[in-house]
Amino acid sequence: MSDARAAILGTLRRTRDAHPVTPPPSDFTPLADKQWPPEERLPRIRRMMEAVHTEFLDATEADWPAVVTDFLTRAGAANLLYAPGTADGATLSAYPLPPREREGTHAQHGEGEGFAGSDGPSPSDTPSPFPLRGPLPSPETGEENTASLTLIPYDRPIEDFKQQMFEGIDAGLTGTLGAIADTGSLILWPSADEPRLLSLVPHIHVALLRADALYDSFWQAMRDQRWADAMPTNALLISGPSKTADIEQTLAYGVHGPKRLVVVIVR
C-alpha cells in the first residue's frame, strides 16, 4: 500500500506547509515538580498500591526466598514459576525448600516431579526435566497434611508449555527496576532471562522491589535511566493486580492478568 503512504504523507505535508502550526514550548515543570523526600517515597508507593489491592511483604537480601515461599505455601500455591537466568532466580533456586504444613488439601494442581521437597531444586545452570510437560498431573492423592512449593524454571519458549502456563501455574516471580512514588507503580523490563508472561499469566505475581530503587515519577525514571537511548522489547509499569470496572463500575480484581500482586520489599 505504498500508494496510500505517498498520498497520506503528501496531503499532510502540503496542507501543513500551507498552514504551519507553531506549537507553544513544552514546559515539563509540572512533571519535574512531582518530588517527594526519599523517606516518603516508599510509604506513598505502598499506600497507593494497597488502595488497589496490592499486597506487601518485608524482607532482607538474606531471607526473601523464605518470605516468598512461606507466603505462597500459606496462600495455597502449589508451584512458582521463576527466571533461572537472573541473579534473583539463582538465589531462589539455591534456597533449600523444606516441606511445609498446609491445612487440608489444595490439590488442584498436584505436584510435579523433580523439584519439590527438601532436596531443593536443581541448579539453574544444569538442564532439568520440565515438570509440567505433557498432560497436567492428576490431583494429588496422599500426603494430605503436608505440601511443598514446586519451583518451575521458565527456561524454554512459551510454545513448549503454553497449556501448562495457562492451566497449571499458580505464581510467578520477577524482579523490578524500581518503583514510582507519583503513581505507585513498579517498573519492569522483561528480558530473555525474565520473560514477559511471568508477570501476566500466573494467578499470583510476586515482584521483588529493592527499597533503594525508588523514583519520584515515570518522567524522572525514564530520564535518569536514559530509556530513550535503547528501549527493550517490552517495558512495563505495573500498578496493581489486573482489574476491571466494566460491569456497572463495580471493581473486580483478576479479570485477565494476575488476581494478586505481591510486592516484596527487599532491604
Distance CA 178, CA 8 (A): 41
Helix axes 64-74, 87-94, angle to 10 degrees: 70
* Sole window of 120-128, 143-151, 206-214, 249-257 interacting with another protein (rule: CB under 8 A): 249-257
C-alpha cell at position 210: 529493592
Q: With binding defined as CB under 8 A, does residue 135 bind another protein?
A: no
CB-nearer residue toward another protein: 150 or 217: 217
Q: Indicate which single residue of 73, 86, 148, 242 sits in contact with another protein (rule: CB under 8 A).
A: 242
Q: How far apart are CA 93 and CA 2, in angstroms?
A: 52
> Nearer to another protein by C-beta: 96 or 134?
134
Positions of E strands within 38-149: 55-59, 79-82, 100-101, 146-147
Q: How far is the CB of 159 from another protein (least distance, A)?
A: 8
Contact between 35 and another protein (CB under 8 A)? Answer: no
Which residues, 173 to 232, sit near another protein by CB under 8 A?
Answer: 182-185, 191-192, 195-197, 200, 217-219, 222-223, 227-228, 231-232
Nearer to another protein, 150 or 164 (CB): 164
Question: Which stretch in 70-78, 105-113, 122-130, 239-247 sits in contact with another protein by CB under 8 A?
Answer: 239-247
Residue 1 contacts by C-beta under 8 Å, 6 or more apart in sequence?
none
Report in angstroms how near the CB of residue 241 gets to another protein at its nearest. Answer: 7
- Among the listed residues 47, 74, 133, 156, the single contact to another protein using CB under 8 A: 156
One of 129, 162, 212, 224 touching another protein (CB under 8 A): 162
Question: Which is nearer to another protein, 26 or 138 (by Cβ)?
Answer: 26
Cβ atoms of 238 and 36 within 8 Å: the answer is no
CA dist 80 and 258 (Å) reads 13
Q: How far is the CB of 55 from another protein (least distance, A)?
A: 15
Q: How far is the CB of 89 from another protein (least distance, A)?
A: 13
Min dist. Cβ of residue 16 to another protein (A): 6
Q: Which of residues 38-57 bind another protein (CB under 8 A)?
A: 48, 52
| Residue 223 main-chain phi, psi, to 5 deg | -75, -50
Dig out the grid coordinates for 147 from the structure: 505440601
Q: Exposure string (b/e) for 20-49, b if CB count within 10 Å is 16 or more?
A: eeeeeeeeeeeeeebebeeeebbebbbebb
Contact by Cβ (8 Å): 108, 78? yes
Q: Could you say which of 110, 114, 120, 254 contacts another protein (CB under 8 A)?
A: 254
Contacts of 53 (CB under 8 A, 6+ apart): 240, 241, 243, 253, 260, 261
Compute how many residues bind another protein; rule: CB under 8 A.
Answer: 81
The nearer residue to another protein, 141 or 249, going by C-beta atoms, is 249
